[in-house]
Structure 1
C-alpha cells in the first residue's frame, strides 16, 4: 500500500470502527488519497494495527479509543480530534454490529445492544462533530446503512430495523444541515466478506462454504462484495466528486436491491 492520490488531500477524517473490516479498509483508502485519518475503535490493539499500516505506507493517521455509545467518551474523542487537527472535515459513522434472529427470537438485551451501537453510534459522533462543521459551514458525514434497509432479509429483525433508521436519519439530517454547507449521505452495502462475516459463518453454519455460496446467490453479481468495494464508495462520497449528492443512498450491493435473476 502506498499513497497514490490526492482526492482527499488536506481533509481530516474521523472513521469509527476502523480497527477491522470495512472501517479499516476505508481508513487505508482515505489515507491513500491524502487524508489525515483519525482511527476510532473500542479495541486499542486493532486500531493501532490500522494506524501502523497507514503510517508504514507514508500516510497520516492517529488512534483515539472511544465507545461510540457513550456520550462523554464521544465528546472527548471529538474534542481531542479538533485539538490535534483544528477541524474534522469528514465523519464516517461506520461502527456497527450485526443482530441475528426473527423478532420473536431476539431477547430484549440483544435488541437494545444492536440499537445502541448501530443508531446511537451514528447519533452521538454526529451530535458532537456537527457544531464545528456548522461553524465552518462545511463538512461531509457518511452514515453506514445497508441494503437490508430496502429489502426484507430473514432472521435480521434488529439489524434491519437499525439500518432502516440510519437511512431515514441520513435524509432528515441532510434537510437540517444543507444550509450549513454540510452533505450527509448513506452507504448501503450488500453482503460483504469481512473477517466478522467469515467468523459468523463459521460459528453459525455446519458448512460455511455452502453458506457463502448461498449468500452469493442474493446478488446479481454472483459474488460477495469486498471491503474495498465499500471503501472506494466512501472515498467518493467524501470527495468533491460527489458534491451534488445530498441525502442519498449509495448502493454497493452487487444488484441485491434492484435486480432479480429470472
Structure 2
C-alpha cells in the first residue's frame, strides 16, 4: 500500500493512461478522485476501483474552465480536507504540420493540454502550500525532447508543460511541494488504437513502423506509465524535484542502427 490514505486527484481518468493510473492507485490504498468530462466512463472507472476493494469517487469538471475546476477542488477539500497528489493527466493529441493547422484546432489543444495543467494546479496549490506538502505530476511527452513529423501543436503543448514543471518546482519547493513530469513515448491507449485504425490504410504496418523506432521494439502500455506515476506519487520519489521521467522505450536517447 504505497499510497495508503493519500487523497489523489487524477484529471482525464476515465480512459487510457488516466484510468490505468486510477486503478493502480486504488489498489495501492489511495482515495482516488476520478475527474473527466465523460461521466459514464468516469463512473465505470470508479466502479472498477471500488469493486476491487479500493476507494474512489467521480467528479465531472472541465479542466479548461476555472470555475469548474475551482468547484471540483472545493468539493474535494470539503470532503477530505486535503489533496496530497495532483496528476494533471488530461490531454488530447494533435496532428498536422504547422501550415496545415486551423487556428481553432491550435487553440483547442493549447487550452486542454496547457491550460488544463495550469488551472488544476492553480486551484490545488494554495491547499498544498497551507499544508506544506504535496506532489504534482504533469503529463508531458518525449515529443518535448525530439522532433516528430506532423505533430507541431502537440509538441508545442508538451514542451510547454515540461518548461512549466521546472518553473513550478522552483516556486513551490519552499512549501515542500514536489513537481515532476512524465514523458511517455507512444503508448497503445484506446485513443491511439482508434487513430491507427481510422488514419492508416494498413494499421498493422503503422504499428510496425512505430515499434521500429523504439529500442524496446515494442509500444508502451498504459500500465507502464501508471507505474511511473505511482513512483512520483509515492514518498519513494521524495528527492525528485522538477525532473522529467522518461517512459518511452528508448526513443528519446537511442537510435537503432
The residue that corresponds to 2:76 in the other structure is 81
CA displacement at 1:256 relative to structure 2:
0.4
The residue that corresponds to 1:129 in the other structure is 124
Higher mean displacement: 214-223 or 13-22:
214-223
Between the aligned partners of 1:112 and 1:183, the Cα distance in structure 2 is 29
The residue that corresponds to 2:173 in the other structure is 178
| Secondary structure at 1:61 match in 2 | strand
String of CA shifts for 1:184-204, please: whole Å, max 9, x gaps. Answer: 000000000000000111111
Could you list the runs of 5+ residues in structure 1 that have no partner in the other structure?
1-5
CA displacement at 1:225 relative to structure 2:
0.1
Say what the alpha-carbon RMSD is for the aligned residues. 0.4
Contact 2:213 2:256 in 1 (8 A): no
The residue that corresponds to 1:69 in the other structure is 64
Q: Does 1:146 align with 2:141?
A: yes
CA displacement at 1:74 relative to structure 2:
0.3
Between the aligned partners of 2:99 and 2:88, the Cα distance in structure 1 is 29
TM-score, normalization by structure 2: 1.00
Between the aligned partners of 1:142 and 1:223, the Cα distance in structure 2 is 25
Q: How does 1:39-78 map to 2 (within 5 A)?
A: 39-78=34-73
TM-score, normalization by structure 1: 0.98
CA displacement at 1:80 relative to structure 2:
0.5
String of CA shifts for 1:88-141, please: whole Å, max 9, x gaps. Answer: 000000000000000000100000000000000000000000000000000000
Q: Does 1:196 align with 2:199?
A: no
Between the aligned partners of 1:135 and 1:177, the Cα distance in structure 2 is 11
| Secondary structure at 2:252 match in 1 | coil
Could you list the runs of 5+ residues in structure 2 that have no partner in the other structure?
none
The residue that corresponds to 2:158 in the other structure is 163
Between the aligned partners of 1:93 and 1:106, the Cα distance in structure 2 is 25
The total of aligned residue pairs comes to 257
Between the aligned partners of 1:230 and 1:218, the Cα distance in structure 2 is 18
